[in-house]
Amino acid sequence: MAAQSFTQRFPVVAADIDELGHVNNIVYLRWAQEIAIAHWRSRASEEMLAGLVWVVLRHEADYRAALTLGDEVEVRTHVDDAPQGAAWARFVDIYKVGSEKPAVQIKSNWCLLDANTRRVKRVPLELVQRFLD
């Protein structure tokens, strides 16, 4: 089974730009978090949304090209084929619209928690199946 891809677009606005004239590194992480949350909300059941929450364990980013004010970006994400206990790797590629090569590639490891107890929870098979073809 392969992971289902999820895509969103974002405009690059003035608040995203740093002193070097390109998108600040923290903005890429914000986009990675926003698309991860949107992907989760699009696939999870109401019960899952009410009872589970994800937290980031780690982000790794490879910066390949600068994005600047006025660019539109396409952000694509998918999860790894299988979680590791409570942790699940997520991949995010950020493209300037029209480009075939990503400007930034991010790998994030997310950890599943029980929303009520805030304790780590193994990713259940039912949840995994919602994200895989």
What is the predicted pLDDT for the residue at 2? 76
Task: For the chain, give every domain's residue range.
Answer: 6-131
**What pTM did the predictor assign?**
0.94
Is the pLDDT confidence value at 43 over 90?
yes
Please give the Cα distance from 31 to 92 (Å, whole number): 9
Q: What is the pLDDT of residues 63-115, one digit of tens each?
A: 999 999 999 999 999 999 999 999 999 999 999 999 999 999 999 999 999 99
| Residues 101, 64 contacting (CB under 8 angstroms) | yes
SS3 of residue 30 by DSSP: helix
Question: What pLDDT does 1 receive?
Answer: 65
CA 104, distance to chain mean position in Å, is: 12
Beta-sheet pairing, 87-96 with 6-11:
unpaired
- Residue 40 has, within 13 A of its CA and on its CB side, a CA count of 21
Fold of 6-131: Thiol Ester Dehydrase; Chain A (3.10.129)
